[in-house]
Amino acid sequence: EVQLLESGGGLVQPGGSLRLSCAASGFTFSTYAMNWVRQAPGKGLEWVSTISASGSSTFYADSVKGRFIISRDTSMNTLYLQMHSLRAEDTATYYCAKAGTLNWFSCFDSWGQGTLVTVSS
């Protein structure tokens, strides 16, 4: 059974940094692209970032480009999202999601439970 477990969320001041982690199990982590998707309170889903299976290619939404960095550690079966220069509008629940096929861009067939990031002074 695929399991994705996010951690690292919390309260951070505007301009601060935070690193999210997503521990993966139940599948061959190195085979699939991985994604971060966020959801502001009471709002819809917003794609944040994708990393290829090898980790050599990364992609970002314009809203986070230059501030967030996605990475993965295959030895630890863990996905990361390093967030810098955080803004109030980054406040959201952040989900990690597994690609549903071997393509970089695909459906998201498994989701974690999410971790809440609150940016506020």
Partner 1 sequence: EIVLTQSPDFQSVTPKEKVTITCRASQSIGSSLHWYQQKPHQSPRLLIKYASQSFSGVPSRFSGSGSGTDFTLTINSLEAEDAATYYCHQSSSLPITFGQGTRLEIK
Give the interface size with partner 1 as a residue count (CB under 8 A).
23
| Four-point Cα dihedral 104, 105, 111, 112, nearest 10 | 50
Task: Kindly tell me which of 35 and 78 has the beta carbon lying closer to partner 1.
Answer: 35
Asked whether position 26 contacts partner 1 by CB under 8 A, the answer is: no
CB of 67 to partner 1, least distance (A): 15
* Distance in angstroms (rounded) separating the CA atoms of residues 31 and 14: 36
* Distance in angstroms (rounded) separating the CA atoms of residues 63 and 110: 24
* Distance in angstroms (rounded) separating the CA atoms of residues 57 and 55: 6
| Nearest Cα residue to 3 out of 103, 81, 77, 80 | 77
Asked whether position 47 contacts partner 1 by CB under 8 A, the answer is: yes
Write the DSSP symbol of residue 42: T
Asked whether position 59 contacts partner 1 by CB under 8 A, the answer is: yes
Q: Which stretch binds partner 1 (CB under 8 A): 21-29, 42-50, 70-78, 79-87?
A: 42-50
Asked whether position 44 contacts partner 1 by CB under 8 A, the answer is: yes
Task: Kindly tell me which of 16 and 114 has the beta carbon lying closer to partner 1.
Answer: 114
- Interacting residues toward partner 1 by CB under 8 A: 35, 37, 44-47, 50, 59, 61-62, 95, 100, 103, 105-114
